[in-house]
């Protein structure tokens, strides 16, 4: 009697295959369900011995394959579930063959994106994160990141303006609720940074979703902000403060607060329409808009206007012509009206100091489209011919400032 022999019980019904031995007197008999039954050696009798010749082994394997081919879920060939599950476990495996993995094959499986509650409204931001806040002035370095704060995949294009043309800096896809690195910025990149644009297409994979409109946002970046610590803000997306620009938030596309040059030109040269006049603010409303300070609020006289301050070793006057600095609000005002008021502040300042020979006045107008600067230069060329002007110091006043010297 040896392992593999078929045996039958003498004193009871049953039998099986010899699976092993326990000592000299106990044999382990495995039944059809795979259970091993210990029996005394003298209580079993060999019914059939296994033939381990090559021909017999091949015939048995062929019979087994034919038997499996005939099996169906309803006809299991009389075998138990456990016996069917053990098919192939006794096959010999060639261990000399190396188990290799082809790393060049593309992984096609993608896990389902994890969605968060309340994330089905589009929210995306463009973030400039400084590598070292302490080095902003001497050696500014930033990483550019696209923040996807929603449950949608975003197909994006990140572009930079070069005159009237655009150059693609990065394009691809950002997964839901993730931050994607787009590139880096050094000092030279920051100094030449002016206009950038981001285009977005939102969608979901392998499930229905609410269609969102495409997003196309142009941003005008002020390089001066990249050198100042107080312009950085703390966010939930990064550990360090950063410059964060909203592209779309809660399905509302951001509209940068910059003036459209073409629209300004139309407002300046086009005739006034009757409907425009009807929508124009009343005299009382205009008074509330422009009368930010009364004469008795000034420090002695109108020369000491609240938006004029002494600054620098040359005791130059500094006048900030940004709309938010000289107006409490621009609500109800058209771009042409804002420009008219900025020019009024400029002319009032110039007229107040025409008799102060040698006086230097710095007008901060911002970089922008250059509409306000061109209007100032036009006045200096034809209205104030005896005054000289030049670009003000970038280190002291930043981009978009003009210094005027009173010569008459």
Task: Please state the rounded mean pLDDT for residues 48-54.
Answer: 62
One CATH from 1.10.357.10, 1.10.3720.10, 2.60.40.1600, 3.50.50.60 for 124-253: 2.60.40.1600
Task: Please state the rounded mean pLDDT for residues 283-306.
Answer: 41
Predicted confidence at residue 267, as pLDDT, reads 59
Residue 24: pLDDT band with limits 50, 70, 90? confident
Task: Please state the rounded mean pLDDT for residues 53-64.
Answer: 69
For residues 150 and 103, which has the higher predicted lDDT (pLDDT)?
150
Task: Please state the rounded mean pLDDT for residues 243-265.
Answer: 72
Sign, Cα dihedral of 64, 65, 69, 74 = positive
CA angle at residue 303 from 299 to 309, to 5 degrees? 75
pLDDT higher than 70, residue 216: yes
By DSSP bridging, strand 388-391 and strand 178-185 are unpaired
Local structure of residue 242 (DSSP, 8 states): B
Please provide the average confidence, as pLDDT, over all residues in the chain. Answer: 77
CATH no., domain 261-405: 3.30.1370.110
pLDDT higher than 60, residue 258: no
Residue 213: pLDDT band with limits 50, 70, 90? very high
Task: Please state the rounded mean pLDDT for residues 356-376.
Answer: 84
Predicted confidence at residue 211, as pLDDT, reads 92
Predicted confidence at residue 285, as pLDDT, reads 46
pTM: 0.41
Residue 193: pLDDT band with limits 50, 70, 90? confident
Residue 56: pLDDT band with limits 50, 70, 90? low
C-alpha to C-alpha distance for 131 and 140, rounded to whole angstroms: 8
pLDDT higher than 90, residue 202: yes
C-alpha to C-alpha distance for 123 and 73, rounded to whole angstroms: 52
User: Are 9 and 46 within 8 A, CB to CB?
Assistant: no
Of 183, 139, 134, 176, nearest in space to 159 by CA:
183
pLDDT higher than 90, residue 50: no
pLDDT higher than 90, residue 35: no
Predicted confidence at residue 69, as pLDDT, reads 65
For residues 284 and 244, which has the higher predicted lDDT (pLDDT)?
244
To the nearest whole percent, how much of the chain has pLDDT over 70? Answer: 71
Predicted confidence at residue 333, as pLDDT, reads 83
For residues 258 and 132, which has the higher predicted lDDT (pLDDT)?
132
Predicted confidence at residue 296, as pLDDT, reads 39
pLDDT higher than 80, residue 307: no
Predicted confidence at residue 96, as pLDDT, reads 67
Are both 124-253 and 261-405 of the same fold? no
Predicted confidence at residue 367, as pLDDT, reads 74
Residue 264: pLDDT band with limits 50, 70, 90? low
Local structure of residue 271 (DSSP, 8 states): P
28-32, 202-206, 242-246, 327-331: segment of lowest average pLDDT: 327-331
For residues 79 and 315, which has the higher predicted lDDT (pLDDT)?
315
C-alpha to C-alpha distance for 242 and 66, rounded to whole angstroms: 71
pLDDT higher than 90, residue 32: no
By DSSP bridging, strand 165-174 and strand 316-320 are unpaired
pLDDT higher than 80, residue 253: yes
For the chain, give the number of residues. 408
Sign, Cα dihedral of 269, 272, 277, 283 = positive
Residue 297: pLDDT band with limits 50, 70, 90? very low
C-alpha to C-alpha distance for 307 and 301, rounded to whole angstroms: 13
26-35, 129-138, 274-283, 347-356: segment of lowest average pLDDT: 274-283
Domain ranges of the chain: 6-84, 124-253, 261-405
How many angstroms separate the most distant Cα atoms in the chain? Answer: 134
Residue 263: pLDDT band with limits 50, 70, 90? low
pLDDT in tens, 102-111: 677 776 666 7
Residue 201: pLDDT band with limits 50, 70, 90? very high
Residue 1: pLDDT band with limits 50, 70, 90? confident
């Amino acid at each position: 009697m040896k392992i593999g022999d078929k045996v039958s019980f003498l004193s009871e019904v049953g039998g099986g295959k010899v699976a092993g031995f326990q000592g000299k007197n106990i044999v382990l008999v495995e039944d059809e369900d795979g259970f091993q039954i210990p029996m005394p050696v003298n209580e079993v009798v060999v019914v059939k011995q296994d033939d381990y010749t090559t021909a017999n082994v091949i015939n048995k394997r062929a019979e087994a394959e034919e038997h499996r081919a005939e099996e169906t879920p309803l006809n299991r060939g009389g075998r138990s579930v456990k016996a069917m599950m053990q098919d192939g476990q006794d096959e010999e495996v060639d261990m000399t063959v190396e188990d290799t993995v082809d790393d060049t094959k593309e992984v096609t499986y993608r896990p389902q994106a994890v969605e968060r509650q309340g994330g089905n409204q589009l929210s995306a931001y463009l973030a400039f994160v400084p590598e070292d806040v302490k080095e902003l002035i001497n050696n500014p370095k930033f990483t550019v990141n696209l923040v996807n704060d929603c449950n949608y995949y975003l197909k994006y294009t990140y572009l930079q303006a070069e005159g009237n043309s655009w150059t693609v800096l990065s394009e691809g896809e950002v997964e839901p609720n993730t931050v994607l690195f787009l590139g880096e910025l050094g000092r030279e990149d920051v100094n030449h940074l002016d206009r950038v644009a981001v285009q977005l297409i939102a969608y979901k994979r392998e499930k229905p979703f609410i269609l969102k409109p495409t997003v196309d946002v142009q941003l005008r970046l002020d390089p001066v902000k990249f050198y100042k610590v107080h312009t950085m803000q703390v966010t939930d997306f990064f550990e360090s403060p950063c410059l964060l620009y909203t592209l779309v938030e809660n399905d509302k596309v951001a509209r940068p607060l910059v003036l459209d040059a073409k629209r300004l030109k139309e407002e300046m040269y086009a005739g006034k329409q009757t409907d425009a006049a009807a929508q124009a603010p009343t005299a009382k409303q205009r008074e509330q808009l422009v009368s930010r300070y009364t004469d008795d609020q000034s420090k002695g006289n109108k020369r000491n206007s609240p938006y004029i301050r002494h600054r620098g070793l040359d005791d130059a006057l500094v006048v900030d012509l940004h709309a938010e600095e000289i107006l409490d609000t621009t609500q109800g005002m058209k771009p042409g009206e804002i420009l008219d008021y900025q020019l009024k502040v400029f002319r009032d300042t110039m007229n107040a100091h025409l008799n102060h020979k040698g006086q230097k006045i710095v007008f901060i107008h911002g970089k922008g489209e250059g509409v306000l600067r061109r209007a100032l230069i036009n006045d200096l060329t034809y209205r104030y011919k005896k005054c000289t002007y030049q670009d003000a110091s970038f280190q002291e006043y930043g981009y978009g400032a003009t210094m005027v010297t009173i010569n008459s």
